Amino acid sequence: MALLLSIWAERSIRFPGNTTSAFCTCGLLKRNTVRGVLDAEVKNGTLRLAVQRLGQSRPTKLEICRERDRRSPSARKVCRAAYEHKLRRALERHFPNLTISRLTTGVDLEKSFGPIYVRGLLRKGQSIATVATILPNCEVAILSAAEIAFRWRGLEFARTRLSAEPGSFRSIQEIVFGVGAEERVLDSRSESTFQGLLAALRDARHPYGPRQHPLWRMHPERWLESLAVGDVSVLDERLVSSRLYSQVPAFSALDRAMIDVLTTTRDGRLAVVELKADEDIHLPMQGLDYWSRVEWHHARGEFPRFGYFGGQQLSTEKPLLFLVAPALHVHPATEVLLRYISPEINWVFVGIDERWREGVRVVFRKRPEAQNRQTHPGTEGSKFRLPIAS
C-alpha cells in the first residue's frame, strides 16, 4: 500500500551549509508515524532524511525512494525464479488432483501479462475431455490463465473458467455454454441441453449444412478466420502457419483493436491479414489501421521483447498487408480507396472463391500498380479492376 508523506515546517534550525533552514516534521499517513526531520539530501533518485523520534536523542535514517523495488533486474529475476519454485511445491501439495502447466514470469503481450507476478495454468482435464468427447476436433483457445474457449468452425459455444465459490474465497471450475448472448452453466440439469447444442452445431455448421439455419449463418468472418489460421499459405505461398497469431491485441494510445491474423513470411517479414466474409466498405481502412499499429510496435522491437514468434529473427522491412474477401463481395469503394494507399505500404488484395466454406481457394490477387509492373513486366495494373458486388 502506498503511503502518503506530509511534511510541514515547525521552527527554524540550522542545516549544514544553509542558515535559513527549518525544522520539519514528516508524517506518514495510513501509519501512526511522526518524525522530526534534522537533515535531508537527494541522491540517485532517493530522498534521504535524518529523522528523530519524539523522546529519543539519537537520530535515525529514513529513505523515500522513487521506485518501489530498487533491486537490479538480475536480482529480481533470481527472486522470482525462487518464488516460482516455492509456488509450484505449494500448488502440488494443496491441489494434488490438478496438473500444473508451465509456470512463468515472462512478459506476454498477447494476453496482457507483465513480468511482475508468477502465473501458470492448473488443468483438471475433465472440462476439455467433456467437450471433446461429444464434439471431437473442436478448436480450443486459451484466453487467459483462468479461461479456455471452445469453438466449432469459428463459433464459440462453450467456455471453462475459474469462478468464485459461493460463500467462500475458493475458486471452482465451471463450464458455461451457449451461442451469442445466451449463457448457461453446465450441470446435471442442463447436460441434455448442452448435448443438443453440440448436435445442432455438428449437423448445421458445416460446408454443406442448411444455409438458412442460424448456426450456419452466424459469424461467417470467424469461420473464414478459422480456415485461414489452419493453413494461411493458401492465401499466399510466402506465409507460414507455424508462427501465427489470431485475434491479436494492438494498441494505439488508449485505443485497443484486435487484428484478425498476424504471421510472418518464410524470410521473417511480418504480415497483417485482414479478413471479411461479406461486402464491407471498411476493409481497406481497417487493414491500414492494423498495419500502422503493427508497424509502430515492430519499429520499436516490441514483438520479440514481449514473447511473440518464439525468438525468430524478424526482418527489418515494413510489414506486408493482405486484404482478403470473397471475389464477388467487394464494396464498390474498395477500388477507389486502394489507389490512395501510400506507396511505402506493400499490400495485396486477395479475392477468394465464394464457396470458401468448402475450402479457401484464391481467385485473383491485386497488387499496387508499380509493384505489379515490377513483378510482371509488360502488364498494366491500371487495366485490372476488382469485381464489384451488385
Query: pLDDT tens digits for 11-20?
Result: 444 444 444 4
Assigned domain for 252 exists: yes
Residues 17 and 39: beta-carbon distance below 8 Å: no
Which residue blocks in 102-238 are alpha helix, DSSP H? Answer: 126-134, 191-204, 214-217, 220-230
What does the pLDDT read at residue 347? 94
Q: Looking at residues 312-321, what average pLDDT do you find?
A: 90
Q: Are residues 38 and 96 in the same domain?
A: no
Phi, psi (rounded to 5 degrees) for 296: -65, -45
Q: Are residues 197 and 234 in the same domain?
A: no
Cα 185 to chain centroid, rounded: 26
Q: Say how many C-beta atoms besides its own lie within 10 A of residue 293's C-beta.
A: 21
Strand bridging mode 46-52 / 60-65: antiparallel
Q: Are residues 210 and 229 in the same domain?
A: no
Phi, psi (rounded to 5 degrees) for 348: -140, 125
Dig out the grid coordinates for 259 from the structure: 487484428
Assigned domain for 355 exists: yes
Domain membership of residue 203 as a residue range: 78-217
Dig out the grid coordinates for 153 from the structure: 468452425
Q: Are residues 128 and 201 in the same domain?
A: yes
Rounded to whole angstroms, the Cα distance separating 48 from 109 reads 37
Assigned domain for 70 exists: no
Query: Residues 50-80: pLDDT tens digits?
Result: 888 877 888 888 888 776 666 777 777 778 7
What does the pLDDT read at residue 259? 78
Assigned domain for 73 exists: no
Residues 3 and 30: beta-carbon distance below 8 Å: yes
Assigned domain for 242 exists: yes
Q: Are residues 98 and 111 in the same domain?
A: yes
Threshold 0.75, pTM exceeds: no
Q: Are residues 252 and 377 in the same domain?
A: yes
Q: Are residues 236 and 301 in the same domain?
A: yes
What does the pLDDT read at residue 1? 36
What does the pLDDT read at residue 361? 93
Assigned domain for 388 exists: no
What does the pLDDT read at residue 2? 39
What does the pLDDT read at residue 11? 43
Q: Are residues 224 and 361 in the same domain?
A: yes
Assigned domain for 389 exists: no
Average pLDDT, the chain: 78
Residues 148 and 127: beta-carbon distance below 8 Å: yes
Q: Looking at residues 153-171, what average pLDDT do you find?
A: 81
> From residue 148, how far is each of 151, 161, 344 by CA, in Å?
10, 6, 39
